[in-house]
Amino acid sequence: MSDEELEPIEILELPLGDWHRARGARMVEFAGYHMPIQYEGIMAEHLWTRENAGLFDVSHMGQLMLSGEGAADALEKLVPGDISALKEGRMRYSLLLDEDGGILDDLMVTATPMGLYVVVNGAVKWDDIGFLREYLPDEITINHMDDRALLALQGPKAVDALLRVVPGVDALFFMEAGSFFWGPKSDPEPLWISRSGYTGEDGFEISVPASHAKALADALCAQAEVKPIGLGARDSLRLEAGLPLYGHDMNPEFDPVEANASFAISKRRREEGGFNGADRILKALAQGPAQKLVGFAVNGKMPVREGAPVYAQDGQVGSITSGGFAPSVGAPIAMGYVASQHTPVGTKLEAEVRGKRVVLTVAALPFIPHHYHRRGKAL
């Protein structure tokens, strides 16, 4: 078949596609779906979320339920986190690893009464499902819950707004989740809600049947604190929070130590190993990686973008993986990989942008403080 005869790839619709358009969203293709990039503007939406509450449609992400005897132990062969120790209603950020320890995806795992609820990135969810089917034992059932939408309500006033719609959610702390009911007492709709998100702010992620997503989005946006927010602001918010975007700041080329995600390797797993790529990863933990993901403050007003080479004098020592203007910082920022000798905070480097050199300074992550609602101490 020639290139001319190839059928165009169908771009899929999310349950809230028409809802976004009716609210004036500019739609783009992302992860195989039509998704809102912005409504009134990225800068305004970013700042609104930092000060109030923003509603994000993240229904493109994969919602999976792993069930069956030994599901946690089986998953631990593929991720470096302590999954078997998770108590019901507790969550853990982890990394799906290939046989060599390269990162296939980053994901969230929650222990529920039904099994392990796993949320994976939309761009690679089909690859993740295929990988899990191949490497998990046949006794483990993988249910792709594609009949559910996923909404994220983020910002310092998120709890005030959501509490009016779903009573009881204020009982959750960061990285906790539970089942809640919404709607008339005669026929309430079950929701699965976690106190989590990817903006660095307090907030919630809400799994809702796709058939009820519009009504829930309407109810949330009827609250004075809430506006719908697009993908553009979601990206600038997570970048300021120092949170990596899979496919950009993480991919199979890098292991968790290189990706500055050593925190995802639980203490027991460091001692016992037994996960994909453990030899490579534990060696990197002990000896240090050859390269590492770091943050950069950017001198001047010119943003540096993904792919820009990073130099120490005349020699290239790395490259940018994410970059852009940071509304809450008031300046351009970036993330990227550089050789380990250039990773100390304060190190001066340069990026090449349009044939010109732009001065970078290695910066501590996150660029702005996280505002998670923790239970006394980090869980």
Nearest alpha carbon to residue 215 among 197, 241, 188:
188
Give the Cα-Cα-Cα angle 176, 172, 256 (nearest 5 degrees).
30
Kindly tell me the burial class for residue 156, based on how many C-beta atoms sit within 10 Å of its own C-beta (0-12, 13-18, 19 or more).
middle
d(CA 342, CA 288): 13
Query: Which string of DSSP letters, residue by residue, matches 340-378?
Result: GGG-STT-EEEEEETTEEEEEEEEPSPSS------BSB-
The predicted model scores a pTM of 0.95
Mean pLDDT value across the chain: 96
Query: Which string of DSSP letters, residue by residue, matches 254-269?
Result: S-TTTTT-GGGS-HHH
The residue type found at 228 is P
d(CA 197, CA 325): 21
d(CA 261, CA 33): 28
C-beta separation of 193 from 206 below 8 A: yes
pLDDT tens, residue by residue, 107-156: 999 999 999 999 999 999 999 999 999 999 999 999 999 999 999 999 99
According to the model, what pLDDT value does residue 314 have?
A: 87
C-beta separation of 98 from 105 below 8 A: no
State the pLDDT confidence band at 278, using cuts at 50, 70 and 90. very high
C-beta separation of 54 from 227 below 8 A: yes
According to the model, what pLDDT value does residue 378 have?
A: 41
Binding residues for substrate: 205
C-beta separation of 373 from 173 below 8 A: yes
Which residues fall within 8 angstroms of residue 143, CB to CB, at 6 or more apart? 64, 65, 66, 67
Here the tokens at position 356 are: 């010109």
Delimit the domains of the chain by residue range. 3-57+147-240, 290-363
Instruction: State the first-to-last Cα distance of the chain, in angstroms, to the nearest integer.
Output: 54
Q: How many residues does the chain have?
A: 379
Quote the percentage of the chain above a pLDDT of 70: 97
Q: Is the pLDDT of residue 238 over 80?
A: yes
Which residues fall within 8 angstroms of residue 292, CB to CB, at 6 or more apart? 257, 258, 260, 337, 338, 340, 343
Angle between helices 158-165 and 213-221 (to 10 degrees): 120
CATH architecture of 3-57+147-240: 2-Layer Sandwich (3.30)
pLDDT tens, residue by residue, 344-374: 999 999 999 999 999 999 999 999 999 999 9
According to the model, what pLDDT value does residue 184 have?
A: 85
d(CA 54, CA 205): 12
Task: Kindly state the average pLDDT of the residues 205-226.
Answer: 98
Strand ranges of the sheet holding 141-144, from the earlier edge strand across to the other edge: 91-97, 103-112, 115-120, 62-67, 141-144
Binding residues: 205
177-210: string of b/e by CB count within 10 Å (b at 16+)? bbebebbeeeeebebbbbbbbbbbbbbbbbbbeb
Task: Kindly state the average pLDDT of the residues 175-192.
Answer: 93
pLDDT tens, residue by residue, 61-90: 999 999 999 999 999 999 999 999 999 999
pLDDT tens, residue by residue, 292-302: 999 999 999 99
Fold of 290-363: Elongation Factor Tu (Ef-tu); domain 3 (2.40.30)
C-alpha distances in Å from residue 335, one per residue of 119, 339, 343: 24, 13, 12
Q: Is the pLDDT of residue 337 over 90?
A: yes
φ, ψ of residue 365 in degrees (nearest 5): -105, 145
